[in-house]
């Protein structure tokens, strides 16, 4: 168990969920952007709060643990941790400082980074007694607070690193997938798309022919990643169910996707529920060319935006003492 009152530093990466066709089941972590967090534990008195959250950014997110995604994840963590300890063991509390460098509502796993970073940090402080699957399970409580749904397609890659497949939620089963070197370009148009709103517009029924096509794309994408087959990855980055509905919320989406593929991108689509859009490329040079197309399109329509050229993060949340 890490020493009482000793702070640790945590880096929690942004993530891209869905990977176009893999709604709620596929995701990957990226090297930039990432959240910075600090954390420590101390002994808790009987009636003392179990979790203290301190924001050191300008987003003014709730500090009440029950209303903060990191707090919700830590509540679940502490409940199970205390069950594991002998009744004579001292009760503990966590203090968390959060510097959000991943803008909330950007579609690149901001809530997942806070939730995952908090439970990975807590687990480290108490001696790594929980598995990564356990940590995903705890952190999903933060996602439920943020979106109303316990989805793991951002949480899993944030904790495991790399590309992950969520085969099942109940019971939880996460599969880490091998992948070739892939460069990632992300554009975040400065509009807001709430995850709950983006889910509410989805169709509740789909045609069988669309479902079959989607299943083929998901299987093809997983096979392409495992075989390092870039062409198969590119052909499989197609969504016939979710993207046609959600893309109407993002200005210039169809034109941007076409321009990026002409610039050499393998393909891409909406990151999570948006508004960010991601593209995968074989080389950094292509990824930079894709960024140029993204900037040109959004400059042309006068929509403020941020871009990132990065790569897949293979480590997930990192502890920096």
As given in the structure block, the two tokens for residue 135 are 């940590």
C-alpha count within 13 angstroms, C-beta hemisphere, residue 236: 20
- Tell me whether residue 164 is one of the annotated catalytic residues: no
| Whether the Cβ atoms of residue 122 and residue 280 lie closer than 8 Å to each other | no
Strand partners, 310: 184
Angle of helix 132-147 versus helix 110-125 axis, rounded to 10: 140
Q: How far apart are CA 142 and CA 233, in angstroms?
A: 31
| Whether the Cβ atoms of residue 288 and residue 311 lie closer than 8 Å to each other | no
Q: How far apart are CA 126 and CA 117, in angstroms?
A: 14
| Whether the Cβ atoms of residue 280 and residue 184 lie closer than 8 Å to each other | yes
Which of 15, 164, 185, 195 is labelled catalytic? 195
| Total Cβ atoms within 10 A of residue 295 | 14
Which of 15, 36, 143, 291 is labelled catalytic? 143
Strand partners, 95: 40, 52
- Tell me whether residue 63 is one of the annotated catalytic residues: no
Q: How far is CA 250 from the centre of its chain?
A: 19
Q: How far is CA 15 from the centre of its chain?
A: 3
Angle of helix 69-84 versus helix 110-125 axis, rounded to 10: 30
Residue by residue, what is the 3-state secondary structure of 174-190? EEEECCCCCEEEEEEEC
Query: Which residues carry out catalysis?
Result: 143, 195
């Amino acid at each position: 168990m890490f020493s009482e009152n000793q702070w640790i530093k945590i880096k929690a990466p942004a993530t891209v969920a869905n990977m176009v066709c893999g709604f709620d089941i596929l995701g990957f972590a990226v090297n930039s952007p990432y959240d910075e967090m600090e954390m420590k534990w101390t002994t808790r008195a009987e009636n003392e709060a179990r979790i203290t959250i301190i924001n050191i950014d300008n987003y003014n997110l709730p500090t009440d643990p029950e209303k903060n995604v990191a707090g919700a994840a830590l509540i679940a963590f502490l409940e199970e941790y205390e069950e594991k300890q002998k009744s004579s063991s001292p009760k503990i509390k966590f203090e968390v400082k959060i510097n959000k460098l991943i803008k909330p509502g950007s579609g690149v796993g901001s809530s997942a980074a806070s939730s995952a970073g908090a439970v990975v940090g807590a687990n480290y402080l108490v001696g790594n007694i929980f598995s990564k699957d356990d940590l995903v399970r705890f952190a999903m409580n933060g996602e439920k607070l943020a979106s109303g749904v316990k989805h793991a397609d951002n949480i899993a890659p944030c904790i495991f690193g790399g590309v992950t497949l969520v085969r099942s939620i109940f019971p939880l089963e996460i599969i880490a997938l091998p992948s070739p070197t892939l460069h990632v370009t992300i554009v975040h148009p400065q509009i807001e798309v709430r995850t709950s709103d983006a889910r509410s517009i989805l169709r509740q029924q789909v045609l069988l022919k669309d479902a079959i096509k989607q299943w083929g794309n998901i299987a093809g994408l997983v096979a392409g990643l495992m075989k390092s087959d870039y062409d198969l990855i590119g052909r499989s980055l197609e969504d016939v169910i979710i993207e046609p509905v959600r893309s109407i919320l993002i200005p210039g989406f169809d034109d941007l996707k076409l321009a990026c593929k002409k610039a050499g991108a393998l393909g891409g689509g909406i990151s999570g529920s948006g508004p960010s859009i991601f593209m995968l490329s074989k080389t950094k040079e292509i990824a930079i060319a894709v960024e140029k197309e993204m900037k040109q399109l959004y400059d042309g329509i006068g929509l403020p935006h941020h871009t990132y050229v990065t790569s897949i993060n293979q480590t997930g949340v990192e502890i920096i003492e």
